[in-house]
Structure 1
Amino acid sequence: MADRQNPAPEQAQVLAIVERAYRGALEKQFVDSLYLAAELNRQLGGMDILLRGQAVTYAARDARMPSLRLGKRVVDTLTDPRADVRSLLGLGLRVYAEESDLIAYGLDGEGRLLDGVQPIPADEAAARWSDYRVVCFL
């Protein structure tokens, strides 16, 4: 129960679903879905993120971003979505990852996810949609 000293976390107004993983290759110049989420969170009064599909790999604790080799050129300036997820968590966003997709990508199990990312069954995630003013796909 919330009180003045320990208020309950505010209910986010928006649920943003990210299900298409995007590596952030050379054509990314200014924005991707996770960068956009931080700005939308600020403008829309709170946001939760639901990672689904291949996007659950954004929450993998031990993943590393390899360099990209194009002929003799090596590009090592690609963005790391795990760093972006950590930033969102640092801003106070709740980040969920659907359990069935975590299993599909071998990320089910203790210590496989970034601290703060919460696994959630798909049916529970869908049942929560009506708790939000807006549900959107990023």
Structure 2
Amino acid sequence: MPDQDIPGGAQVLGIVERAYRGAVEKQFFDVLYMSVELHRQLGGMDILLRGPAVTCALRGAETGPLLLGGRLLDTLGDQGRDLRALIDSGVRVFVQEEDLTDLGLGPADLVDAAVRPVTSAQLADWWPRYRMVGFL
């Protein structure tokens, strides 16, 4: 991957380590859903999924309904849908390559070719080019 591609015009790098899909109280809002609006408000944003959050970018990952005491809860957030919305809105999505490899997975397991694996060494070079780097 050519280094001149990354980072491009994005002002902010948002790092997601635990993309908690939300509980009953937060069923309509999670970090990926929020990132679409942050991208708009901050003048461009890239997202890095690392740690357990890399699973948000896997092909075939589903958010199924929960059965709570006999009651079906089927209104929880859909991280796959939110990830696609991020990509469609121009957010570049990266996954930490080492974390993907630790799970025995590779680029072919990612939901979309637009989701790109990057190494820790690449990221260390990119951080100073962003106006802001933050954990979401």
Q: Structures share a fold, TM > 0.5?
A: yes
When structure 1 is superposed on structure 2, of 117-126 and 27-36 the one drifting more is: 27-36
1:4 — aligned with what? none
Q: Deviations over 1:67-89 (max 9, x none)?
A: 21112112111111111010000
2:79 — aligned with what? 81
**Counterparts of 1:88 and 1:130, CA distance in 2:** 23
Amino acid at match of 1:125: L
Change (3 A) 1:28 1:75: same
1:20 — aligned with what? 18
Change (3 A) 1:67 1:30: closer
Aligned length: 129
CA contact (8 A) 1:34 1:81 kept: yes
Which segments of 5 or more consecutive residues in structure 2 lack a partner in the other structure? Answer: 1-6
**Counterparts of 1:73 and 1:30, CA distance in 2:** 18
2:3 — aligned with what? none
Change (3 A) 1:31 1:78: closer
1:114 — aligned with what? 111
1:11 — aligned with what? 9
Identical residues among aligned pairs (%):
55
CA contact (8 A) 1:57 1:105 kept: no
**Counterparts of 1:125 and 1:29, CA distance in 2:** 32
2:38 — aligned with what? 40
**Counterparts of 2:26 and 2:103, CA distance in 1:** 25
TM-score by length of 2: 0.87
TM-score by length of 1: 0.86
**Counterparts of 1:26 and 1:108, CA distance in 2:** 32
1:69 — aligned with what? 67
By how many angstroms is 1:10 displaced?
A: 4.6
By how many angstroms is 1:46 displaced?
A: 0.5
**Counterparts of 2:104 and 2:75, CA distance in 1:** 27
Q: Deviations over 1:50-82 (max 9, x none)?
A: 001111111011111122111211211111111
User: Secondary structure of the residue that 2:26 maps to in structure 1?
Assistant: coil
Structure 1 runs of 4+ with >3 Å offset: none
Amino acid at match of 1:107: L
2:103 is equivalent to residue 100 of structure 1: no
Q: Structure 1 or 2: larger helix share?
A: 2
Which segments of 5 or more consecutive residues in structure 1 lack a partner in the other structure? Answer: 1-8
